[in-house]
Amino acid sequence: MTDEAGFEAKHGTSAARMPSMLYNEKAYLMARAFLMYAAGGIKTGSETLPSGLEGLEDIVRWLYLSAEGPQLLHRAIISGQQVIEKSEGPNANGAEQRDGVHFMSKGACISLRRLLEKMGTLDEST
């Protein structure tokens, strides 16, 4: 948030920390939700992506779902689980460490946990 025009004066200040952290959490969760949207369209049996992503089926399948590909869906699940563990673990020092990407608020962890459960239903490598 502090990289946006008009916020230069707030860069690095405590006034910018919370809005920036909340923005990061929202972006992180939305990225995983998009992954669910795209990968879920492939796994529904229709073999096509939801509207707006037509023509990318083979790419999404290979990147996120195929055992021969980089298995990005599985990697996103593991990464999300690590974020939850760090955020709720014994070394989490509360708001001081929260950045919205590596350490998240309890509310974001709840949403992330729900997304990860849904993503797990699509992951064939588990």
- Split at pLDDT 50, 70, 90, the class of 4 is low
Closest residue by Cα to residue 112 from 126, 102, 97, 124: 102
Q: Which domain holds residue 115?
A: 8-122
Q: Is residue 37 part of a domain?
A: yes
User: What is the mean pLDDT of the segment spanning 24-50?
Assistant: 80
Q: Is residue 14 predicted with pLDDT exceeding 90?
A: no
Q: What is the pLDDT of residue 1?
A: 45
Distance, in Å, from the CA atom of 112 to the CA atom of 90, rounded to the nearest integer, reads 19
Q: Is residue 50 part of a domain?
A: yes
Q: Is residue 3 part of a domain?
A: no
pTM > 0.85: no
Q: Which of the 8 DSSP states describes residue 72?
A: H
- DSSP letters of 7-46? -GGGTTSHHHHHHHHHHHHHHHHHHHHHHHHHHHHHHTTT
Distance, in Å, from the CA atom of 64 to the CA atom of 54, rounded to the nearest integer, reads 16
Average pLDDT, the chain: 79
Q: Is residue 2 part of a domain?
A: no
Q: Is residue 73 part of a domain?
A: yes
Residue 43 CB neighbours (<10 A): 17
Q: What is the pLDDT of residue 35?
A: 87
Q: Structural domain tally of the chain?
A: 1
* Higher pLDDT pick, 49 / 104: 104
For every residue of 77-116, which 3-state class applies, written as one string? HHHHHHHHHHHHCCCCCHHHCCCCCCCCCHHHHHHHHHHH
Q: Is residue 81 predicted with pLDDT exceeding 50?
A: yes
User: Percent of the chain beyond pLDDT 90?
Assistant: 29
Q: Is residue 89 part of a domain?
A: yes
Q: What is the pLDDT of residue 48?
A: 57
Q: Is residue 39 part of a domain?
A: yes
